[in-house]
């Protein structure tokens, strides 16, 4: 049953433990997004939320408990958003996930703070859910049979978190995320997924390579090839990615 309390302005307001919990978490999340978790105190959050300091400590006895709760909330919100808007193709799913982390650097800051501060992960459910999705990808017909889903999950998330921090710190422009995505897909294409099973990723790499090569050389990519080479596709870059699947398939066959 709800009871009533009194705000600092003297106005009565309902005391709802769930609503109070939500107010405290929202205030903490806002403050952590503004200034990071460093220096955050339960007292400051209580003041920002407009609740009594003693009440705030009843919900979150320590700063670490409060930070862990915010991280869990952010993680669940992120998962729900990505799941609700997930494209059907692998190529677009990779793009959407990376761009979300780059566009929301506070997610990475919070996660790194938790790890560096030694705060236990608030929920193994979120991590296991992510790992299970990578395991499902690895177990599908579209990937190499010897890929390790658990380790791949760590590598993909770790690389994307580092890239997000680099953009946030000014070490790279957000526009160059397209280059990061291209190389991430190239690594996956050569070592994890079967090119013939994911033509969308192959097409994304092929379409993205031509302008990059032309920019580096300052001329059209065909300008240095002979007519015979152009007819065969050698030296043009056209067959570079298309032959990945055949080459990888041949190597697996030789190994077996």
pLDDT exceeding 90 applies to what percent of the chain? 30
Distance, CA of 47 to CA of 53 (rounded, Å): 7
Domain ranges for the chain:
1-61, 64-189+202-229
What per-residue confidence (pLDDT) applies to 206? 84
For the record, the structure tokens of 211 come out as 């302008």
1-61: CATH class: mainly alpha
Q: Quickly tell me which residue has 């236990």 as its tokens.
A: 120
Distance, CA of 139 to CA of 118 (rounded, Å): 33
Q: What is the CATH number of domain 64-189+202-229?
A: 1.10.357
- In contact, 193 and 139? CB cutoff 8 Å: no
What per-residue confidence (pLDDT) applies to 176? 92
Residues in the chain: 256
For the record, the structure tokens of 73 come out as 């909330």
Please tell me which residue, 14 or 37, carries the higher pLDDT value: 37
What per-residue confidence (pLDDT) applies to 87? 83
Strands (E) across the chain are located at 3-6, 12-15
Q: What mean pLDDT comes out for the span 137-142?
A: 88
Q: What mean pLDDT comes out for the span 47-72?
A: 92
What per-residue confidence (pLDDT) applies to 122? 66
- The answer on pLDDT for 208 being more than 90 is no
Distance, CA of 193 to CA of 205 (rounded, Å): 14
**Residue 236 binned pLDDT confidence (cut-offs 50, 70, 90):** very low
Alpha-carbon separation of residue 185 from 104, 167, 201 (angstroms): 21, 19, 7
For the record, the structure tokens of 102 come out as 């780059």
The DSSP annotation for 74-142 comes to HHHHHHHHHHHT--SSHHHHHHHHHHHHHH-HHHHHHHHHHHHTTPPPS-HHHHHHHHHHHHHHHHSTT
b/e per residue 104-133 (b: at least 16 CB within 10 A): ebbbbbbbebbeeeebeebeeebeeebbee
For the record, the structure tokens of 99 come out as 């761009």
Q: What mean pLDDT comes out for the span 109-131?
A: 79
What per-residue confidence (pLDDT) applies to 141? 87
User: Which of these, 78, 72, 67, 86, lies nearest to 24 by C-alpha position?
Assistant: 67
Distance, CA of 56 to CA of 224 (rounded, Å): 69
Q: Using N-to-C axis directions, what is the helix angle for 17-35 and 63-84, rounded to 10°?
A: 90
Q: Quickly tell me which residue has 């919990």 as its tokens.
A: 21
Q: What mean pLDDT comes out for the span 84-103?
A: 89
User: Which of these, 22, 19, 38, lies nearest to 106 by C-alpha position?
Assistant: 38
For the record, the structure tokens of 229 come out as 């080479």
Please tell me which residue, 86 or 51, carries the higher pLDDT value: 51
């Amino acid at each position: 049953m709800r009871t009533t309390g009194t705000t600092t302005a003297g106005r009565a307001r309902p005391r709802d433990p769930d609503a109070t919990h939500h107010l405290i978490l929202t205030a903490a999340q806002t403050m952590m997004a503004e200034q990071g978790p460093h220096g955050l105190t339960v007292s400051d959050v209580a003041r920002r939320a407009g609740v009594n300091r003693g009440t705030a400590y009843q919900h979150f006895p320590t700063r670490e408990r409060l930070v862990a709760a915010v991280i869990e909330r952010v993680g669940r919100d992120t998962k729900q958003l990505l799941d609700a808007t997930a494209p059907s193709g692998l190529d677009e799913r990779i793009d959407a996930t990376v761009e979300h982390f780059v566009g929301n650097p506070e997610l990475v800051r919070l996660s790194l703070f938790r790890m560096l501060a030694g705060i236990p992960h608030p929920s193994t459910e979120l991590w296991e859910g992510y790992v299970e999705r990578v395991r499902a990808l690895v177990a599908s017909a579209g990937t190499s049979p010897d890929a390790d889903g658990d380790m791949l999950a760590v590598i993909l998330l770790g690389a994307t978190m580092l890239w997000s921090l680099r953009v946030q710190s000014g070490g790279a422009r957000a526009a160059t995320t397209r280059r990061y995505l291209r190389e991430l897909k190239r690594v996956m294409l050569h070592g994890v997924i079967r090119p013939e099973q994911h033509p969308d990723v192959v097409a994304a790499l092929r379409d993205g390579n031509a302008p990059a090569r032309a920019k580096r050389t300052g001329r059209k990519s065909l300008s240095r090839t002979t007519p015979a080479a152009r007819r065969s596709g050698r030296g043009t870059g056209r067959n570079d990615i298309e032959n990945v699947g055949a080459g990888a398939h041949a190597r697996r066959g030789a190994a077996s």
